[in-house]
């Protein structure tokens, strides 16, 4: 479950996160925005995935759920772009 928002930001949206630009292959984390109703399961909170494509105003995100790869349509306000760390091979 996501934490509560601070009192002064409750009910407000960050337009920069709502209109953020994401490309295919970007690594994102699912961070629920409590001010907007979400249509994805709560178990995805905090999971990371990869953007596959844009569909309308939402993004198709591929997330590994236990052992299976699943695709979810998530609005951009619920996504946070993260840096993908590449593993070094010896």
pLDDT tens digit sequence for 29-40: 999 888 888 777
Number of domains in the chain: 1
What is the Cα 1 distance to its own chain's centre?
15
Residue pair 48/25 in contact (Cβ under 8 Å)? The answer is: no
CATH number at residue 31: 2.30.30.70
Note down the domain range covering 50: 22-81
Asked whether residue 12 is domain-assigned, the answer is no
Burial of 27 (0-12, 13-18, 19+ CB in 10 A): middle
Asked whether residue 33 is domain-assigned, the answer is yes
Above pLDDT 70, what percent of the chain?
94
Asked whether residue 90 is domain-assigned, the answer is no
Give the lowest-confidence range in 23-32, 44-53, 57-66, 79-88: 79-88
Note the pTM of the prediction, 2 decimals.
Answer: 0.81
């Amino acid at each position: 479950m996501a934490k509560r928002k601070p009192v002064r930001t409750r009910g407000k949206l960050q337009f920069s996160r709502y209109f953020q630009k994401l490309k295919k292959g970007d690594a994102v984390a699912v961070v629920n925005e409590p001010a907007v109703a979400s249509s994805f399961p709560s178990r995805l909170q905090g999971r990371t995935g990869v953007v596959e494509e844009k569909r309308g105003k939402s993004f198709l995100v591929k997330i590994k759920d236990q052992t299976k790869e699943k695709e979810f349509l998530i609005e951009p306000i619920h996504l946070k772009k993260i840096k993908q760390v590449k593993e070094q091979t010896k």
